[in-house]
Structure 1
Amino acid sequence: MEWFSADDYWFARLLFLRALAAVYLVAFAVALNQFRALLGTDGMLPIPRYLARVPFRRAPSIFHWHYSDRFFAGTAVVGVVLAALTLVGVTEALSLPATMAVWFVLWALYQSIANVGQTWYAFGWESLLLEVGFLAIFLGNAATAPPFLLLIALRWVLFRLEFGAGMIKIRGDTCWRDLTCLHYHHETQPMPGPFSWYFHHLPAPLHRVEVAGNHVTQLVVPFALFLPQPVAGIAAGVMILTQLWLVISGNFSWLNWMAIVLGLAVLPDGFWRALLGFGSPPPTTTPLWWAVLVVAVTVLVLVLSWAPAKNLVSRRQAMNASFDRLHLVNTYGAFGSVTKIRWEVVVEGTADPHPGPDSAWREYEFKGKPGDPHRRPAQFAPYHLRLDWLMWFAALSPGYAEPWFTGFVARLLAGDRATLKLLRHNPFPDEPPRYVRARLFRYRFTTRAERRATGDWWVREPQSTFLPPASLRGATGVAR
């Protein structure tokens, strides 16, 4: 079946599937490490409470049949194990049906987690992983020929990811059109990385060049993905390099890495043969039943692509939206608007039973989000710190903090171990505080002179009260 096989993409498929398995591994590890405080039976947004009000048809998940914290943990462990085995090459060595079954289980288990994850999983990269993970089910094993139709489907995902992000920017904040967004973005992005301070202090003309280059990469280059080689490979290479630039400039979970993974599937074996010098791929086969299934999946993707394609050219373009319950074909985009000022919610506790002006308040430190001005931002991506990200949104508007923030405060007051594990530093190691409060601060990066003088990475100024002092008996809502 010459029309079906893409024989010059055997190594490309191998790299793509191994890299996708690595992302799955991270995603399941994040779920395993964080779910008890966020979604567990006693968590901030308990899954059982969600399942009681949301039917299966709206949120397909195995947890509708059974939920317990132990079962959730077991589900995540199975995902970690299967992803790890796939990463080291075990899965592709299995028979074709067995290989497909492993990829299906990975997709189904993560689908089950994401669909009950509520606010904690309301990110575009969740749908992206599920969409790409669905296509991976049908890409075959080491003994089968890479299916050309699905390789094109992967390029279609990469096109929508990049072009959608470009369109949401060019239609959004005026700073994208006047090329000034990067004067602010590195400082105000959700979770700066260890090099973000340096990126922020690059010369203004270079920031303009960066924005212009971003527009070319997202609005022009994606069309080249559907041209013959080597043009398509060059386009993918440009995207990969751009995404690596974003990786070192901030923490965006596995979003950038998924774009890189998709780009790997576009690079033909001739590129890797010239770079690495490996020989010819092993002989492959194409079972008829599998070819029929691949054609059916391609037709399904084509049909479901109507709504995302229409969204790309719509003046009311939706960002990071799913058009079906299983996240099979989605729309993507990020940073249509760029915040010009960085706000941070600083959470503090006191042992004083009667807080007053002279009470000593001690600050909780988060793992990723800015806190202590002297602490350099850290690199966590592709690992996703869900609580830290939601704290960034909460600082933008108190509405983003409901209904989970008061539950977070209550768990600090109770000294909940699962919640404290999500933090970098617990200032009350012996017993929980009597009261917890939250204050809103304005943050900015230090100048070069300030950094030399103080060693600080940030300058911060208190602005207002986000949450008045609250005890276990009197926790209330948030307000500015």
Structure 2
Amino acid sequence: MEGFAAVDFGFAREVLQRGIAALYLVAFVSTLNQFRPLLGERGLLPAPMLLDWVGTKKSRRRMLHPTVFLYLRYSDRRLLLLCAAGIVVAAALVVGIPQLGPPWVPMLCSIVLWLGYMSVVSIGQTFYSFGWEMLLLEAGFLAAFLGSADQPPPTVVIVLFWWLLFRVEFGAGMIKIRGGREWRDLTALNYHHETQPMPGPLSRQAHLLPRWFHRIEVVGNHFAQLVVPFFVFAPLLSIWIPGPVPQIIGAVAAAIMIATQVWLVATGNFAWLNWVTIVIAFSAIGMPGIGAVEATEKRAGPPQGGAEWPLWPGIPLYWLVITSAVGLLVVALSWPALRNLFARRQLMNASFNRWQIGNAYGAFGTVTKERVEIVVEGSVDDDGLLWREYEFKGKPGDVRRIPRQFAPYHLRLDWLMWFLPLGRSLDDWFTVFLLRLLEADAPTLALLRTDPFEGEPPRWVRAVSYRYRFATRAERREGAGVWVRTRQAVVLGPLGLR
């Protein structure tokens, strides 16, 4: 690093800009496919009803994060246009077209993605209440100030990405240490691979690994989240320690965190949480030679206008002012998150301002010991004697079906179904969901893997709880499926239309 310019972090900038844009593309595609049946004009939790309640009252407006739908009345068509625009802009950034212009061009493109997706998240209610939503928003905001391809990235923005990575990893580590006892006695991963919200194709194999290996997993997790994050700031020591050592330390720290996130990707489906963390971790990997060529070119002479800035020749003054102001803004907004990291009652996935910058992160402070699934069944019999199951795309259903890999794509309905058995009562959206099944609503049925009645409305629907566990190797050899399940109780229904 040389003053304002992070000359060895050109490759990191490429990964950040293109990787974050790719995840925005996934997020907008997910929204395009799922928002309307979940939250649209006839959704399970209609966004127009929320916006009507907010109305023009300033006290209620402050409860929402900024959204264009406060000024342009929501419609499914406008939501579709917003998603289409987001997909086009994100694809352009992935290809690298805006980065060929001056730095304000990719800045405006990233700001469009940030504000557009925030407009969706703000009215997404429980279906958009996940920590990775605010993580993607904050990463997208920072990515707007990485600059264009003809100049090295600003040091202040690279350091802000380190600070974001630190909050994500260290915050998650502290949540676990302060959370369930299973993280302190090293037994958490005896259960996690089996009980996580949406298992992947390798989750069963991970669960069946020896218990001593699961203890090593937990120790490795604590090391990667509680110790390693401090070392991503090591490149700053190059101010006092010449040579490559500080940069190597930062790169090794990033590599360790990337490795742990890859393991989570391989053994589960956590939407884009792990993917965006991997992308952010590349901000700590400096590669001499990529960016150094740009540095040599920039030193060839002063910028147009004759003025030469002492921190970096060739960087426009307006860009220096903008990125410095962003640095001061993020530092100011991060103070509550810093205090939260060391607070006795640490908040998990909390936003402290309307713009979702400087957030607190964390996940899985406790681990569920048993997997209980709500299975939805329907019947066409007047007496409800024969019941058939609706299959979801990502959650366990048919015990012989191997879980699929969906991440970074986010199956929102499937995730919310996992939370149902953990609450004291079934959520309001679930009752509306059952109503849509009784109506054989095509957009709702499109969210499912299979409709046992092939588009015809059932006479009755009900919800039944089952205890699921992975089959042992011996059970599989004897012909069992991937899962073994035990019926518990009918928790709702039978319900029918009058």
* Same fold at TM > 0.5: yes
Question: Structure 1 CA distance, aligned partners of 2:198 and 2:182?
Answer: 20
Contact 1:125 1:255 (8 Å CA) reproduced: yes
Superposed CA RMSD in Å reads: 1.5
Question: Structure 1 CA distance, aligned partners of 2:397 and 2:421?
Answer: 13
Counterpart selection for 1:382 from 408, 411, 424: 408
Contact 1:11 1:281 (8 Å CA) reproduced: no
- Please state how far the C-alpha of 1:465 moved relative to its aligned partner: 1.6
Question: Structure 2 CA distance, aligned partners of 1:96 and 1:57?
Answer: 32
Question: Structure 2 CA distance, aligned partners of 1:95 and 1:280?
Answer: 18
Instruction: Indicate how the Cα distance of structure 1 residues 279 and 317 shifts in structure 2: closer, same or farther if over 3 A, else same.
Output: closer
In structure 2, the residue corresponding to 1:296 is in which secondary structure? helix
Question: Structure 2 CA distance, aligned partners of 1:172 and 1:466?
Answer: 29
Per the alignment, residue 293 of structure 1 pairs with 322
User: 1:426-463 CA distances to partner (integer Å, 9 max, x unpaired)?
Assistant: 00114110110000110000010111222401011111
Structure 1 window deviating more from structure 2 (421-430 vs 123-132): it is 421-430
Contact 2:93 2:106 (8 Å CA) reproduced: no
The answer on 1:147 being equivalent to 2:165 is no
**TM-score (structure 2 length as normaliser):** 0.91
The answer on 1:305 being equivalent to 2:331 is no
Amino acid at match of 1:3: G
In structure 1, the residue corresponding to 2:397 is in which secondary structure? coil
- Please state how far the C-alpha of 1:97 moved relative to its aligned partner: 2.1
Counterpart selection for 2:354 from 312, 325, 331: 325
Per the alignment, residue 472 of structure 1 pairs with 497
Contact 2:150 2:294 (8 Å CA) reproduced: no
In structure 2, the residue corresponding to 1:295 is in which secondary structure? helix
Q: How does 1:3-402 map to 2 (within 5 A)?
A: 3-54=3-54, 55-59=60-64, 60-65=66-71, 66-227=73-234, 228-270=246-288, 280-281=293-294, 283=297, 285-355=314-384, 359-399=385-425, 401-402=426-427
Instruction: Indicate how the Cα distance of structure 1 residues 129 and 224 shifts in structure 2: closer, same or farther if over 3 A, else same.
Output: same
User: 1:395-435 CA distances to partner (integer Å, 9 max, x unpaired)?
Assistant: 22254x42200010011111111111110000011411011
Contact 1:145 1:286 (8 Å CA) reproduced: no
Amino acid at match of 2:353: D
- Please state how far the C-alpha of 1:139 moved relative to its aligned partner: 1.2
Question: Structure 2 CA distance, aligned partners of 1:372 and 1:440?
Answer: 14
User: 1:32-79 CA distances to partner (integer Å, 9 max, x unpaired)?
Assistant: 000111000000000100111234332210011221000001101111
Question: Structure 2 CA distance, aligned partners of 1:168 and 1:187?
Answer: 21
- Please state how far the C-alpha of 1:464 moved relative to its aligned partner: 1.3
Gaps (5+ residues) in structure 2? Answer: 55-59, 235-245, 299-313
Instruction: Indicate how the Cα distance of structure 1 residues 123 and 102 shifts in structure 2: closer, same or farther if over 3 A, else same.
Output: same
**TM-score (structure 1 length as normaliser):** 0.94
Amino acid at match of 2:61: F
Tell me the matched-pair count.
Answer: 464
Question: Structure 2 CA distance, aligned partners of 1:254 and 1:242?
Answer: 15
Per the alignment, residue 476 of structure 1 pairs with none
- Please state how far the C-alpha of 1:178 moved relative to its aligned partner: 0.8
Question: Structure 2 CA distance, aligned partners of 1:398 and 1:33?
Answer: 30
Contact 2:459 2:496 (8 Å CA) reproduced: yes
Amino acid at match of 1:32: L
Question: Structure 1 CA distance, aligned partners of 2:483 and 2:294?
Answer: 52
Question: Structure 2 CA distance, aligned partners of 1:348 and 1:18?
Answer: 43
